[in-house]
Structure 1
Amino acid sequence: MALPSLRSAVARFMLNRLRTARSVARLAYRLHGKKPALIDRRGTLTYQQLHGRVLRLHGWMQAQGVKQGDIVFTWLPETGEQYETRLATFENGTIFASFHKHLSAQAALDTLLRVKPAVFIHDPALSEPILATVRERMPGLHILAIGKPYEEALAQATPTRGTAKVHEDEVFALHMTSGTTGLPKAIGYTHRKYLDSVRFIAQSINFTPPASGQDVNMLGLPITGPGSGLVLPTLLSGAVLVMPENFRPATLAGLIERHKVSRAFLSPSAIIDLLDDPDLPRYRLSSLSHVPYGSEMMPAPKIAEAIRRFGPIFQQGYGCLEALPPITWLLPHEHVDASGEPLGLHILSSVGRVMPGVQVVIRSDDFEPLPQGQMGLVTVQTPVRFDRYWHDPEKTAETLRDGWVVMGDMGYFDEAGYLHVLGRSADRVRKGGQLLNPREVEEVTHQHPAVKECCLVQHGEQAVLVASLRQSWRAEHNWRALEHDITEYLAENLRAELQPDRVRIVPEIPRSFLNKMLRREVRAMLDAEEPVAEPAHAL
């Protein structure tokens, strides 16, 4: 039996009746038992097989004395064990939390000591530097390593169905921030709020399986980050989840072709990497029918290029950990005109229009509302906002003001009601006595055919534009000459006050585990003043 489209009346009725993540997962196991559920490095598991492993993992936890409300922490790469553990916490009413694999060992240790989980499931390749200390300082912690110990634990455990009563207002997950600016902050979300976010998503995304059969969803963002937002929709629609081991373009394109992926949740940088891959034409990617993208702002010239390459299959949502998406949508048909051609860059550079039931207000530094067209702080009021950071009232007070989430972004509304997000207020750059929003410069830079990625950063008293080149331009052009060419291009296409003081080309722009550009590392590159290596055969 196949679940109908989440946009249909029947599916919406079912979704409204489901109150917890456990009820969603159990429905999926019952309806889709023989269908493929998970594809990862180990192979393919059906919903029935996945359910069996989840019940065994729950049985193992129960045998250790783990109880409802305990925290289960993972520190794993992008693996199926991560998915299985998440589903096991749905089953037994524990609270799931996870580190991303790039977190430093010291930050992982500090967070473990702060959060005090009952279970720690880990990859020894990541945890080895801290494992002895963890065992010494957390003697009651139940520790399980993936690989042979994990498989033996499941083999010896009794499959056990959860019997604890799970309420929709109980916390089911601790979502961790990336930790790129300090210790990761944790936000506890209840079943109710997370399912409300899914209900919002269901108003605009059609999860009808393709005519060829089962929907195939692929993560193009870490499941320890925004990729977790694909878990419940995958279960609800009876889709199979493809988990790449990495997000390199060859890996993603190969998996799309091999498994006939129909839906891929990608970061803007992943889309840019795919467009820049000279081998992309050899992959058959026609199965791809829907690409939600997010986690940072997408350059309008690049999404226009992606539409010309793949068709009108892209959908942008705006949101964050503190205010779950969707706050706004730019739907696939809103990316293109009646003939299917990309719309103007002014529309494509927006994040779309505000969802019904959500309020967005642009405010001054004094927190006063600003009129349409005026730039200021983006603030959001939504039913699916966070309530507080875990044990951090001071940070909560900074981010949550009078019921409004301060997004940390600068933005404005245009006359058609589209929200334009210009980037983080903390990333603004000083030039000539005024503050520049980097995106205003970067959007124009992306129109230069040589540019792959770029970011405007502060370097001393200068506003410096740092760019990387598309592969087709790297070997055959002199980089110093291209810096001059880009400078002239910007002089012709930007107002004088927006023009950078200097342009520098680098081999690659550093990225985070979420594939976001790391502006602080770009600044560090400039501070180091290391010369850029030219290709040996550059002209």
Structure 2
Amino acid sequence: MAARQPDHPALKIPRGRTRAGDIDYLTLTFVELDAEVSAWAARITAAGVKTDDRVLVMVRQGLPLIAAAFALFKIGAVPIVIDPGMGLKSFLTCVERTQPRALLGIPLARVISRVFRQKFRSVQIRIPASPNPTARLSASVSQLSTLNSQLVNRNAADLAAILFTSGSTGAPKGVCYEHGMFEAQVRLIRATYGIQPGEVDLPMLPIFALFNPALGMTTIVPEIDPARPAAVDPAKIVQAIRQENVTNSFGSPTLWNKIADHCLAHDITLPSLRRVLSAGAPVPETLWENSRRFLTHGQLHSPYGATEALPIASVCSAEIIPRSAAINAPAKSPSVSASSVSASSAPSPSTQFRSVADTSQSPFSQETRPAFHPSPFTPHSSNAPSGGACVGRPLPGIDVRIIAITDAPITTIADARELRPGEIGEIIVRGPAVTKTYDALPEATAAAKITGDHGAFWHRMGDCGYFDPLGRLWFCGRKVERVLTEKGPLFTEPVEQIFRSHPQIARCALIGLDVPGKQLPALVIQPRAKLSASAKSALARELRSLAAAHATTAGIARFYFHKAFPVDVRHNAKIHRLTLAKWAAKNPSHEILSSA
């Protein structure tokens, strides 16, 4: 991009406010960013880092992260990126397992590496980085011709980076990315969302900023603490979007709920935004609806994927239409012969959604259809996901199948039983953006990968879901979090949808008490406000009545009160349900009783 649009802004980092109250940015053009990358490449090479060396990157978001990461790509080294907020114990375990030869970090990072010397014993080189997110190495443009000669050509199958999962349902794992996988991701993202060079992006997950130089987008670094994203001030995000005419932004549903509430409370619209990408957890119905009010010239999109495979599918607010309109103009359902769908076999994206919550039109029997009815608290609900969250159709080149659920490893695809549309099973995927291995975790790799035909492989997403007759994929929850009762399994998303729109509930989580196969289903509630004993009792009665009204939830009789759910640091959206289950088992006094 430095050659195509050298003088176009590549990166803007906030450094305070002007006297007029505007955000004051340090701005780098693409040619200036390229100079920074080259300067970092020279410094890293001079420190002794070589091709294929693993380098742990512990720097600030924005200029340091982008420049350092691309410098490592340039010299053929392998950046290791670990979430800063996962907790010290998990972080040190990740460092020890990945065996980095070098550490590129701020002063605090280098201190940590010496205090916990045993965990960092593989580190032979320590490269200093400034804690100031606007600090530059001041490489002059005249140096580029010399430094560019150091570019190391890499093959598509060469290891490019190790990125860690959030660890929301287990220990964080290092995912091995090849250069060809990154290239496939860029192609998919550009084609799926129609991103054009010259657009302006505000990514509320720092790692997503690394796509922007390849996409030709200007990166606006948000005023957000990556270790505490829930503490974001939505007013600052809104100011940045409006001031810089941001066209694209990524953030979790939790973050965008805060921004949406702020916009609606202050009658603010964001006309420059063409698209908002929200992932990390299912997008709630309220956000789908509210997005139409502040995204006056854009759409809310929900991409589906994981650190191991992204993007897999996507759905947008234009496809999730109001329920009344969907029923008045129902879409024709094409036949689908099997629960294996790719973009080439899926119906046209212009096909409208209809409300599967209208059971008279449901294509599924009561035994296979995920039961759900609109909550009485939203009598005119939009076309909310029915028995799960719709995540759209598979993207071009991505194959998705639904197979029978098992917790055991699956060696070959011939050992997996494929399910029919409407049957909830395990989601598996394959494609050019799907990773092949975890780093130094052969057992985890064996458990998550399935050998396919002709040397291909499938990745087990760890999620449960199903296909509908229109070829759309529906997410029903994490496999490890399903509740195994004597009457069969319960899946988190279809159950929680029934309760989520209650006005007093901020979050809710389905959990299982006792051993799998004999688990008692229970619901943990995080209320929007502090409740008195009598209010808790009244809430319990309402929830029990709501549960009894639906076949899916009729067996839920236990409700627990929790003031603040444990969630992942990366998105502040993934609920740690297994942690809540352990908490509920140890704290029976927190069960909400129907009388107080």
Bin of the TM-score, shorter chain as denominator length: 0.7 to 0.9
Q: 2:546 aligns with which of 456, 467, 489?
A: 489
Secondary structure of 2:73's aligned partner:
helix
The CA distance in 2 between the partners of 1:527 and 1:377, in whole Å, is 28
Q: 1:147 aligns with which of 103, 123, 131?
A: 131
Aligned to 1:411: 465
TM-score by length of 2: 0.74
Residues 505 and 287 (structure 1 numbering): CA distance in 2 closer, same or farther, change over 3 Å? Answer: farther
> Following superposition of structure 1 onto structure 2, how do residues 84-483 of structure 1 map, counting pairs within 5 Å?
84-125=67-108, 128-134=111-117, 137-138=121-122, 140-147=124-131, 160-169=147-156, 170-180=158-168, 184-208=172-196, 214-223=198-207, 228=208, 230-246=209-225, 247=229, 248-250=232-234, 251-277=236-262, 280-281=265-266, 283=268, 285-311=270-296, 313-325=299-311, 327-336=312-321, 344-346=383-385, 349-364=389-404, 365=406, 367-402=416-451, 403-460=457-514, 461-470=519-528, 478-483=535-540
Q: Which amino acid aligns with 1:119?
A: A
Give 1:352 deviation, angstroms: 0.7
Q: Which amino acid aligns with 2:427?
A: V
Q: Give per-residue Cα distances to partners, 1:278-308, cap 9 Å, x unaligned.
A: 9852655332221112122223344234334
The CA distance in 2 between the partners of 1:271 and 1:148, in whole Å, is 27
The CA distance in 2 between the partners of 1:512 and 1:396, in whole Å, is 22
Q: Which amino acid aligns with 2:9?
A: P
Aligned to 1:512: 568
Aligned to 1:25: none
Give 1:80 deviation, angstroms: 3.1
Residues 1:46 and 2:28 are matched in the alignment: yes
The CA distance in 2 between the partners of 1:215 and 1:150, in whole Å, is 22
Residues 245 and 78 (structure 1 numbering): CA distance in 2 closer, same or farther, change over 3 Å? Answer: farther
Give 1:215 deviation, angstroms: 2.3
Give 1:475 deviation, angstroms: 9.7
Q: Which amino acid aligns with 1:345?
A: A
Q: Which amino acid aligns with 2:246?
A: V
Moved more, 338-347 or 510-519: 338-347
Aligned to 1:67: 50
Give 1:181 deviation, angstroms: 5.6
Secondary structure of 1:324's aligned partner:
strand
Would you say the 8 A contact 2:53–2:78 is kept in 1?
Answer: yes
Secondary structure of 1:60's aligned partner:
helix
Aligned to 1:36: 9
Secondary structure of 1:56's aligned partner:
helix
The CA distance in 2 between the partners of 1:296 and 1:194, in whole Å, is 23
Secondary structure of 1:350's aligned partner:
strand
Higher helix share: 1
Secondary structure of 1:296's aligned partner:
coil
Q: Which amino acid aligns with 1:501?
A: A
Q: Give per-residue Cα distances to partners, 1:379-410, cap 9 Å, x unaligned.
A: 11222221222232222111111222111111
Would you say the 8 A contact 1:76–1:99 is kept in 2?
Answer: no
Aligned to 1:57: 40
Q: 1:523 aligns with which of 577, 581, 594?
A: 581
Q: Which amino acid aligns with 2:192?
A: S
The CA distance in 2 between the partners of 1:140 and 1:441, in whole Å, is 51
Q: CA RMSD in A?
A: 3.6
Give 1:426 deviation, angstroms: 0.7
Q: Which amino acid aligns with 2:481?
A: D
Would you say the 8 A contact 1:267–1:296 is kept in 2?
Answer: yes
Secondary structure of 1:315's aligned partner:
strand
TM-score by length of 1: 0.81
- Give the gaps of 5 or more residues in structure 1: 1-27, 535-539
Moved more, 136-145 or 433-442: 136-145
The CA distance in 2 between the partners of 1:401 and 1:38, in whole Å, is 40
Residues 240 and 280 (structure 1 numbering): CA distance in 2 closer, same or farther, change over 3 Å? Answer: farther
Secondary structure of 1:439's aligned partner:
helix
Aligned length, in residue pairs: 496
- Give the gaps of 5 or more residues in structure 2: 16-24, 327-351, 353-379, 407-414, 452-456
The CA distance in 2 between the partners of 1:131 and 1:104, in whole Å, is 18
Residues 234 and 161 (structure 1 numbering): CA distance in 2 closer, same or farther, change over 3 Å? Answer: closer
Moved more, 233-242 or 78-87: 233-242
> 4+ residue runs of structure 1 moved beyond 6 angstroms?
152-156, 337-342, 473-477, 530-534
Percent identity for Structure 1 against Structure 2: 23
The CA distance in 2 between the partners of 1:278 and 1:527, in whole Å, is 40
The CA distance in 1 between the partners of 2:464 and 2:42, in whole Å, is 48
Q: Which amino acid aligns with 2:65?
A: Q
Would you say the 8 A contact 2:78–2:159 is kept in 1?
Answer: yes
The CA distance in 1 between the partners of 2:108 and 2:588, in whole Å, is 32
